[in-house]
Amino acid sequence: MKMRIDGREIEVRSGETIMEAARRAGISIPALCYHEAFGGQGHCRMCMVEVQAGGVTRLVVSCTYPVTREVEVKTSTPAIEKIRRDIVTLLYKRAPDSDFMERLYHSYGCSDNTLHANLGERCIMCRLCVRACEEMGVSAIAAVSRGTDKRIATPYDEASPDCIGCGACADICPTGAIEVIEKGSRRVIWNKVFEMADCQRCGRPFATLAQLEYLESRLDRDVVKQRLCSNCRRKEVVGKVRRYNASLPFV
Amino acid sequence: MNKSPVNNPDARLVLVCCGTGCIANGGLDVYRALQNELNGDEGVRVDAVTKGTGCHGMCARGPFVRIMPDDINYCQVKVSDVREIVEKTLHGGEVIKRLLFRDPRSKKTVKSHRDIDFYKRQHKIALRNVGVIDPASIEDYMARDGYQSLRKALFTMTPSQVIDEVVKAGLRGRGGAGFPTGLKWKACAAVDRLPRFIVCNGDEGDPGAFMDESVMEGDPHSILEGMAICAYAIGASAGFIYVRDEYAQSVASLGKAIEDARRHGFLGKNILGTALSFDIEIVRGGGAFVCGEETALLASIEGNVGEPRDKYVFPTERGLWGQPTVINNVETWANIPFIIHQGAASFASIGTAGSKGTKVFSVVGKVANTGLVEVPMGTTLREIIFDIAGGIPNGRKFKAVQTGGPSGGCIPESLLDLEVDFDSLARVGSMMGSGGMIVMDDRTCMVEVARYYLNFLAGESCGKCVPCREGIRRFGEILTRICQGKGTVDDLNLLESLSETVQSASLCALGRTAPNPVLSTLKYFREEYLEHIIRHRCPAGICKELTEFYIDPEFCNGCGLCAKMCPSQGIAGAKKQAHTIDQSKCIKCGECVDVCRFMAVKVR
């Protein structure tokens, strides 16, 4: 199936979203809540595009709109750019402490002097953290409450028994909104204190004990029998490959 | 046990309204007192049957007692009136004038409900049985042709004939969006995946709206019959009724109805001996307004957080648990048996070109007779507000009517002759919604009204998408500063510009319609915004920071009522002399304005 996007003709699989097809063809559509690992969420509305299908033109969200027939897509029009500027403005005013949002605000040429800046806030509610936590199989955090009060939290803001302190949420957060404090052999995240495990090779604390135990419970023990940091694990693998290659008869 | 009036034609029938509104005013006590009085050993023996019914509609005047076939309509009946009703009316055949309805305009008493303007001008289809039958009695429903439509569909029509009939009737969804019901069914039936599901949306959440509640409480079988007919038409095996959590009486009434329908073979395996098997389950909502949005509602039934999703694929194709699903509103379902029984042509002969049939409105706010009104599509706002609901009380002036729930728009006096249907309301910047109508008088500040609705929506948005969550927050912020006299003219441009984005980029209908209260008040009451911004004055005397009341000595006759009612003792004056307000004591509550019968208290 074909789809015309910004004048270019690209190949689409039926049912695939506009965002997926565009990214495969190397066309980027701005987005804040999209991650290729999770697919579209439809929260941020930055990725709105204009779709023409069967004589009807409308604005759709490219990360959730499935292509099921021939469509013509424009990723940028004056109307779309205005929406994006408004969204960036609204999010910057919500999370003015985020450098990421500040850069975006300036790069989109937004200007607003009247809306109240919500000082101290960094979260833009893209919920990538929630999706990451879900993918880890843990689901310790979620979007709680409703309306303008909606926010990301553990149940009742208490230390969650499910949280393994892996920090995947903080890693994926585009605005640095999730606080991770690491001090010596301790990590504090989501109001919960974790003991860290030291790398068996370099001795650096690299993961929480809870995370390693969780992984061990889910994976083949052999895979995680050595507790190594990512650097040392790489060295270990490279060494293994070298030894294996050396053991091969020279061809 | 009471004898059925069907079997005993000589018996008088005493209908007592036991809708939620009347129960709140003691309707249930009146009902019990009447039963005791009629069935007890003491007192007069009268051949009469007492029936607790659903809502009679005119809730402001409840509790109602209607005596048939004499056709005597008593309102605001108290337990202390019961013995007199039994002795004088039921036994002696005498009408108690004191309890009759008094027309607010002609000041005359009216004996029969048929002669009351409020009822006379209505045309009941969805509410045909509400207030007439005992909702707990399936026999009552069947005595009024109940389940005849299901029989007719099952034994004389093919599924596609049923769908065609609904298409031809031109019925559009009564939940708000107005999507043609027949086309929805057709689309769902065309998806070749089983099982298919049917859902009834009873998550009525608009402030001041209770149309669906009255049907669920007062005529639950009409919903069940409508759903069973649809099950036959599209080949569905299971149905769900999603009821707002606050509606305990609806849940009880529907629950009883489902059990009775099963016992009579109208629900369950092999309905009426045919191959159709279909059953219905009640799901109680969790208290979120947004769950009235269909995709959020489906998520909620599935046990997920009630958040909507983008509807590029409709629920008819991917609905409940990913299966093809028809979801219709309570009032829509209640129309179905009528359409099948009377035929599409009969239904389509009522209404306007684009909107067929009738619509139930809950008319509340500043009107003489608040309550439920069912009128043909195309009835004008003026007829509904003035002729049926009795106009604005206390000699005040009509200012605006807000239709369509919290994200509807405010319609000004100049558009009172608008013929109400789905399209006309959308054209003037409001919407049909589920049929809420809030009437406002000249003591209403339109900026404050917009602020009120946006604050409501700020709490009830699901908070998933940015334009709705963050946009509504900013509407609230800007409107609040205008109400405090801190707004600028640029704020009006900002409101309009933000509205565009919220309308076009929000995920669901809640967000896309959220700017309506702002845009419609800006369109029709811009002057009032400018008064707040430029002259720092709230003409209606509502925004406290911008209001100063004074007493016009030309109008004040010194009756002293305002001084008596003033909660801060801020009004003084000699008897029969013009009074004055001490501004240092005034808390701007407006009580003096509301109580003054001579319109002497004014806003500076």
Domain annotation for chain B: domains and CATH numbers: 12-112 (3.40.30.10), 138-348 (3.40.50.11540), 358-441 (3.10.20.600), 446-534 (1.20.1440.230), 548-603 (3.30.70.20)
Q: Are residues A72 and A175 in the same domain?
A: no
User: Does the CA dihedral B106-B394-B210-B422 come out positive or negative?
Assistant: positive
pLDDT above 70 (res B515): yes
Q: Which chain B residues contact residue A130 at CB under 8 A?
A: none
The whole-number pLDDT of residue A251 equals 56
Residues 109-128 in A contacting B (C-alpha not used; CB under 8 Å): 114-116, 124-125
Q: Are residues A56 and A88 in the same domain?
A: no
**CA A121/CA A95 separation, integer angstroms:** 5
Q: Are residues A136 and A228 in the same domain?
A: yes
**CA B19/CA B10 separation, integer angstroms:** 27
The whole-number pLDDT of residue B107 equals 84
Q: Are residues A138 and A240 in the same domain?
A: yes
- For residue A48, is it within any domain? yes
The verdict on a CB contact (< 8 Å) between A150 and B457 is: no
Tokens coding B184 = 């929805």
The whole-number pLDDT of residue B9 equals 55
pLDDT above 80 (res B421): yes
* Residue A185 structural domain: 128-244
Taking CA–CA distances from A117, the nearest residue in chain B reads: B474
pLDDT above 70 (res B455): yes
The whole-number pLDDT of residue B6 equals 43
Confidence band, pLDDT 50/70/90 cuts, at residue A23? very high
- Give the contacts of B396 (CB within 8 A, at least 6 positions apart): B366, B441, B442, B443
Mean pLDDT of chain A: 93
Mean pLDDT of chain B: 92
A13 to chain B, closest Cα gap in Å: 17
A205 to chain B, closest Cα gap in Å: 37
Provide the residue type at B251 as one letter.
V
- Give the contacts of B193 (CB within 8 A, at least 6 positions apart): B323, B324
What H or E segment, with its residue span, contains residue A170? helix A168-172
- Give the contacts of A250 (CB within 8 A, at least 6 positions apart): none
The whole-number pLDDT of residue B1 equals 38
**CA B421/CA B432 separation, integer angstroms:** 7
Q: Which chain B residues contact residue A59 at CB under 8 A?
A: 504-505
Q: A62, A148, A151, A152: which to substitute to probe chain B, counting the most B Cβ within 10 Å?
A: A148
What is the tens place of the pLDDT at every residue in B276-285? 999 999 999 9
pLDDT above 80 (res B151): yes
Give me the percent of chain B exceeding a pLDDT of 70: 97
Instruction: With beta carbons less than 8 A apart as the criterion, state whether B384 and B374 touch.
Output: no
Cross-strand pairs, A58: A51
B312 to chain A, closest Cα gap in Å: 6
pLDDT above 60 (res B3): no
Q: Are residues A221 and A146 in the same domain?
A: yes
Residues 74-103 in A contacting B (C-alpha not used; CB under 8 Å): 79, 82-83, 86-87, 90-91, 93-94
Confidence band, pLDDT 50/70/90 cuts, at residue B317? very high
The whole-number pLDDT of residue B113 equals 87
Q: What is the DSSP letter of B537?
A: -
Give the residue-averaged pLDDT of B323-328. Answer: 97
The verdict on a CB contact (< 8 Å) between A91 and B466 is: yes
Confidence band, pLDDT 50/70/90 cuts, at residue B10? low
Residue whose C-alpha is closest to residue B132's, from B244, B10, B255, B18: B18
A135 to chain B, closest Cα gap in Å: 17
Give the residue-averaged pLDDT of A29-45. Answer: 95
Q: Which chain B residues contact residue A150 at CB under 8 A?
A: 462-464, 469
Give the residue-averaged pLDDT of A207-221. Answer: 87
CB-CB: which of B312, B458, B466 is closest to A147? B458
Q: Which chain B residues contact residue A116 at CB under 8 A?
A: 477
pLDDT above 70 (res B430): yes
Task: Provide long-range contacts, Cβ within 8 A and 24+ apart, for B477-481.
Answer: B477/A115, B477/A116, B478/A114, B479/B447, B479/B450, B479/B451, B479/B454, B479/B518, B480/B451
**CA B495/CA B499 separation, integer angstroms:** 6
Q: Are residues A149 and A178 in the same domain?
A: yes
Placement of tokens 């001996």 in the chain: B273
Give the residue-averaged pLDDT of B487-491. Answer: 95
- For residue A250, is it within any domain? no
A106 to chain B, closest Cα gap in Å: 19
pLDDT above 80 (res B42): no
The whole-number pLDDT of residue B8 equals 54
Tokens coding B481 = 């500063």
Query: Number of structural domains, chain A?
Result: 3
Q: Are residues A71 and A88 in the same domain?
A: no
The whole-number pLDDT of residue B13 equals 87
Determine which of B99-108, B292-301, B560-569 has the lowest per-residue pLDDT on average: B99-108
The verdict on a CB contact (< 8 Å) between A45 and B505 is: yes
pLDDT above 80 (res A222): no
Distances B128 to B262, B373, B403 between C-alpha atoms, Å:
23, 12, 23
The verdict on a CB contact (< 8 Å) between A45 and B507 is: yes
DSSP states along B311-341? -SS-TTTS-GGGS-EEEEEHHHHHHHHHHHH
CB-CB: which of B461, B477, B488 is closest to A115? B477
The whole-number pLDDT of residue B241 equals 98
Give the residue-averaged pLDDT of B51-59. Answer: 86
Give the residue-averaged pLDDT of B229-258. Answer: 96
Q: Are residues A210 and A190 in the same domain?
A: yes
pLDDT above 90 (res B458): yes
The verdict on a CB contact (< 8 Å) between A147 and B460 is: yes
- For residue A43, is it within any domain? yes
* Residues A62, B179, B123: CA angle, nearest 5 degrees: 160
Residues 172-231 in A contacting B (C-alpha not used; CB under 8 Å): none
Which of A54, A76, A98 represents a domain boundary (last residue)? A76
A97 to chain B, closest Cα gap in Å: 16
The verdict on a CB contact (< 8 Å) between A115 and B474 is: yes
- For residue A249, is it within any domain? no
- For residue A30, is it within any domain? yes
pLDDT above 70 (res A160): yes
Q: Which chain B residues contact residue A142 at CB under 8 A?
A: 305
pLDDT above 80 (res A211): yes
- For residue A251, is it within any domain? no
Q: What is the DSSP letter of A220?
A: -
B497 to chain A, closest Cα gap in Å: 9
The whole-number pLDDT of residue A224 equals 65
Instruction: With beta carbons less than 8 A apart as the criterion, state whether B107 and B145 touch.
Output: no
Count interface pairs A-B at CB distance under 8 A. 107
- For residue A50, is it within any domain? yes
The verdict on a CB contact (< 8 Å) between B467 and A147 is: no
What is the tens place of the pLDDT at every residue in A54-107? 889 999 999 999 999 999 999 999 999 999 999 999 999 999 999 999 999 999
The verdict on a CB contact (< 8 Å) between B501 and A149 is: no
Tokens coding B319 = 């609905």
Pairing state between β B371-376 and B325-329: unpaired
Provide the residue type at B91 as one letter.
H
Q: Does A147 touch chain B if contact means CB atoms closer than 8 Å? A: yes
What is the phi/psi pair of residue B256, to 5°?
-65, -45
Q: Are residues A132 and A189 in the same domain?
A: yes
Tokens coding A32 = 């804040």
Which of A43, A76, A109 represents a domain boundary (last residue)? A76
CATH number, residue A68: 3.10.20.740
Which of A125, A155, A184 represents a domain boundary (last residue)? A125
Better-predicted residue by pLDDT, B555 or B103:
B555
Q: Are residues A166 and A235 in the same domain?
A: yes
What is the tens place of the pLDDT at every residue in B361-370? 999 999 998 9
**CA A179/CA A200 separation, integer angstroms:** 27
The verdict on a CB contact (< 8 Å) between A150 and B462 is: yes
Instruction: With beta carbons less than 8 A apart as the criterion, state whether B335 and B410 touch.
Output: no
A85 to chain B, closest Cα gap in Å: 10
The whole-number pLDDT of residue B362 equals 94
Q: Are residues A170 and A217 in the same domain?
A: yes
The whole-number pLDDT of residue B46 equals 65
Confidence band, pLDDT 50/70/90 cuts, at residue B40? low
- For residue A220, is it within any domain? yes
Q: Does B457 touch chain A if contact means CB atoms closer than 8 Å? A: yes
The whole-number pLDDT of residue B41 equals 54
The whole-number pLDDT of residue B39 equals 75
Q: Are residues A162 and A231 in the same domain?
A: yes
- Give the contacts of B13 (CB within 8 A, at least 6 positions apart): B5, B48, B49, B51, B67, B68, B69
B339 CB neighbour count, 10 Å cutoff: 28
Q: Does B489 touch chain A if contact means CB atoms closer than 8 Å? A: no
